[in-house]
């Protein structure tokens, strides 16, 4: 997306000509350029926040995409739960290494605390219903296999919530609460 600031700069340069690029501090053109610059910064900040919030869901779906069987056939609930358990234990090696490197009597590192909190949150989510693509639907499996890793491409997939007891419930995209 072209930046608003670049457009305004081009218009001002075109209007003023190449002879003068200096603007008065309080001129209309200067204020237009300040507003355009502020808008570009705001848009970039909001985009970065949104991408950071969506990253956990993209990583989760990429994990399950990597674990798809070679022959795309629907999975049963037991296989899906095994994949979820594998996902939940993905950071155990790093967590054990961080704990081993920590000197006795020292508080846990920020990374260790963050990993433990994420792990506990995902474990609780699994108890109530873990959000993931519907691996029991052949059409969703084919679409997931062709997924390129972008957020916009997730709209065509079907999602479910699988709980620890083996219940499977339809869900929606994007994930909201316990949908």
Phi then psi for residue 151, to 5 deg, are -65, -40
At 108 the pLDDT is 92
* Whole-number pLDDT of residue 165: 92
Domain ranges of the chain: 57-171
Using pLDDT thresholds of 50, 70 and 90, give the confidence band for residue 101.
very high
Residue 28: per-residue pLDDT: 83
What pLDDT is recorded for position 6?
Answer: 80
Cis peptide before 168 (omega within 30 of 0): no
Work out the average pLDDT over 28-55.
89
Model confidence over 103-158: pLDDT tens digits? 988 999 999 999 999 999 999 999 999 999 999 989 999 999 999 989 988 889 99
Nearest to 62 by CA among 124, 137, 123, 150: 150
What is this structure's pTM?
0.77
**57-171 placed in CATH 3.30.465.10:** no
Q: Which of 58, 61, 64, 57 is nearest to 82 (CA)?
A: 64
Sign, CA torsion 91/97/99/102? negative
pLDDT (average), residues 56-82: 90
Average pLDDT, the chain: 88
For residues 93 and 14, give the distance between their C-alpha atoms in angstroms, rounded to a whole number.
Answer: 59
For residue 139, the tally of other CB atoms under 10 A from its CB is: 13
């Amino acid at each position: 997306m072209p930046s608003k600031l670049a457009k305004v700069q081009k218009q001002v340069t075109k209007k003023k000509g190449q002879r003068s690029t200096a603007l008065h501090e309080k001129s209309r053109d200067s204020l237009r350029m300040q507003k355009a610059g502020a808008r570009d910064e705001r848009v970039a900040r909001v985009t970065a926040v949104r991408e950071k919030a969506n990253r956990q869901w993209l990583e989760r779906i990429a994990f399950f995409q990597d674990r798809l069987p070679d022959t795309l056939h629907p999975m049963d609930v037991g296989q899906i739960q095994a994949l979820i358990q594998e996902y939940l234990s993905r950071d155990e090696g790093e967590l054990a290494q961080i704990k081993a490197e920590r000197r006795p009597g020292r508080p846990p590192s920020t990374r260790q605390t963050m990993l433990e909190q994420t792990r506990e949150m995902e474990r609780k989510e699994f108890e109530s219903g873990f959000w993931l693509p519907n691996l029991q639907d052949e059409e969703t499996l084919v679409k997931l296999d062709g997924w390129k890793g972008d957020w916009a491409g997730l709209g065509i997939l079907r999602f479910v919530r699988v709980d620890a007891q083996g219940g499977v419930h339809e869900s929606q995209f994007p994930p909201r609460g316990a949908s």
